[in-house]
Amino acid sequence: MIVQLPLPGLNHGPQREATEAASLASYPDVDPRILCLRAKALGHAGELLVLSKLTRLGETVFQAGDGLPYDVLMPRLEMTVRVQVKTTTSPQNGFYRFEMRKGYRNNPQGTRLYRPEDYDIAALVILPLDLVIFTARKLASHRIALHQIAAFQVAPRQSLHAAFSALGLSHEACAFTPAH
């Protein structure tokens, strides 16, 4: 969990952070209002899950900086793939939904759609299932039907390979060795 350390003279720091962390202690069995209040933390958890899944699939991955229209970088032989992560926590009307928008409701600029050139692959995270689905389709919104979940769980690498193929990339991971 990312914690903002308190500034001298402010009283709400550690106690408030501990209360907010405890509010997710029984995840995924959490009141929807808490999920909404903790959306940023849950989104970060989704990003970390994507990094973990890609690493376990043999990919070299890097977390991108804040303020970029993508969250993860994956060097490939042909290019560096930019991955935008979107996280959801519960289905609605038989679907898990992912809105491909940046910004947030209370932002003075509001939310806005990503441009097609902002990222290469979307990583759609269904957090309570620890499931990541990759796609190169540039839609304003993605929907994953509940009946599709089992197929994605059985073959976790399949959606990543399909996204690579859609981009014309090989399925071979890039042998990246950092300089010391």
Beta strands 131-135; 101-103: pairing state: unpaired
- The torsion angles phi and psi of 2, rounded to 5 degrees, stand at -85, 130
What are the structural domains, with CATH classification, of the chain? 13-166 (3.40.1350.10)
Q: Whole-prediction pTM value? A: 0.81
- Tell me the pLDDT of the chain (180 aa) as tens digits: 555 566 665 555 555 555 555 577 767 777 777 777 777 888 899 999 999 999 999 999 999 988 899 999 999 888 999 999 999 999 999 999 999 998 766 666 778 899 999 999 999 999 999 999 999 999 999 999 999 999 999 998 999 999 999 999 988 776 555 565
Q: Is 61 left (phi over 0), alpha (psi -120 to 50) or beta?
A: beta
